[in-house]
Structures are given as structure tokens and as C-alpha cells.
Amino acid sequence: MINKISAVLSFIVLLTFQAIGQENTGQYPIDKDTQLITYQDVIQQAGTADELYIRCIEWINVQYKNPADACRIRNRESGVIEILHRFELLNEEEGSKGVTAKVNYTLKLEFKPGRYRYTLSDLNLLRQSSSRFPVEKWLDKSDKDYSNVYESYLRQINTHALALINSLKAGMEPPVIKQEEKW
């Protein structure tokens, strides 16, 4: 009887610690293999792989000020586009507004007949030096260098990422063919 009670209590304690450990990452999609923040989905969309590729190029030309610089890979034959760009993070502390940091990201787009997949990953803080600082370090509240402003930065990254994904989905919709008015 005592063994059953201690086993149940141990299980409850284990679940509690597991829930505390996952509290920070609950709202951010973490890839189970890389343990990095990764937004990924496959979207069913009417069209051939080539049609989807062309729609995506049109979206890129609208979305980015300098699309040629943003696109690192444009391979029509294999149906792959890779974009390297950045989000700007604002300092949301009271009395100080303005860009405080930039975060680089990679957006990989892959096209197949009737569907496409996006993968937004490799979120790294852009520093003056050439070093990379993965934003996932901001999830660890137990880190001695943790600052409360990191929560704001993560929230802004999530907002930017979701806005970019929604823009992509809207841009990938098939064009509406308007019937010419006959009068």
C-alpha cells in the first residue's frame, strides 16, 4: 500500500516538474529533433508545383523590398525557394521606443503538385560581430544572464513569424479570375 502511494506521489511530482520545465516553450513551436523554434506546415493548395512556385515568386516580390537579396535559393526544377531575411525587435520598455535588435531567419519553401511546405527556422540574433546567438536561449528563465525583456522579444518574434506565414498563405491563394462584364 505504501509503495503504491509513493509511486503515485512520485508520478505527480514528476509531472509537476515536467510541466514547469515546459512552461516557457508552450506558445512557441519547438522542433523535437533540433530543439529550435521552428514554424512548419504543409498547406494543401490547388495548382501544379510550377504554378505554386510562380505564385510564391509573386508573393516574394510584394513582401520584400529587395527580393533578389532576400532569396538565397530559387530552384524551379526542384521546387525549392530559400529566403534569408530579418525581423526588427522593438524595445517596449516604458519611455524608450525604437529598434533594439534584429533577428535573422530562414524561410524554406518547397512545392509539390497540390501542396507546399514552409519551414521558418534558424532564428538568430544579429550581433555586431559575426557570432550567432540563437533566440532559443531566451526560453531558459533559469539562465544566469536571463532578462525579463527576452519575453517581449520572443513575443515579437512570434507575432512577426505568424504575420509572415499569414501573408504567405494569402499570397499563395489562386488568383481570382474576374468575369468580363457583358453589356
Domain residue spans of the chain: 28-171
The CATH code of domain 28-171 reads: 3.30.530.80
Q: Which amino acid is at 159?
A: T
Q: Would you state the pLDDT for residue 179?
A: 80
pLDDT at 6 over 60: no
Return d(Cα 118, Cα 39) in angstroms, integer: 8
CA distances from residue 110 to 75, 81, 82, 102, 177 in whole angstroms, order as listed = 10, 7, 9, 26, 25
In angstroms, the CA 181 to CA 183 distance is 6
Q: For residue range 48-88, list pLDDT tens digits in order.
A: 999 999 999 999 999 999 999 999 999 999 999 999 999 99
Q: What are phi and psi for residue 89, nearest 5 degrees?
A: -105, 140
